[in-house]
């Protein structure tokens, strides 16, 4: 399953170990991709993911910061 993690990379290693393709996205430089524009629509985010990554599931993790994905 292709899983998009938003705001944090928590659980990415564990999900990858289970055989899932995972992409972590947010404002942190340690994630797979960074959101550079505040308040991006999820459709725009998916269009900009590398290698045509189209998630089967989207998991939004609370990082106690302002919401950047709408």
Q: C-alpha angle 16/70/38, rounded to 5°? A: 90
User: Is 24 in contact with 8 (CB distance < 8 Å)?
Assistant: yes
Model pLDDT, residue 26: 87
Task: Read off the pTM.
Answer: 0.85
Bridge partners, residue 60, by sequence: 6
The residue written with tokens 């990554």 in the block is: 53
Burial of 18 (0-12, 13-18, 19+ CB in 10 A): exposed
> How do residues 17-46 score in pLDDT, each as one tens digit?
999 999 999 888 899 998 877 678 889 889
Q: Does residue 66 have a pLDDT over 80?
A: no
Bridge partners, residue 2, by sequence: 21
Q: How confident is the model at residue 69 (pLDDT cuts 50, 70, 90)?
A: low
Q: How confident is the model at residue 65 (pLDDT cuts 50, 70, 90)?
A: low
């Amino acid at each position: 399953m292709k899983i998009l993690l938003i705001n944090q990379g928590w659980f990415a290693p564990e999900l990858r170990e289970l055989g899932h393709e995972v992409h972590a996205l947010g404002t942190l430089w340690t994630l797979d991709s960074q959101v550079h524009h505040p308040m991006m629509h999820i459709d725009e985010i998916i269009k900009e993911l590398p290698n045509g990554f189209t998630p089967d599931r989207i998991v939004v993790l609370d990082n106690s910061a302002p919401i950047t994905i709408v």
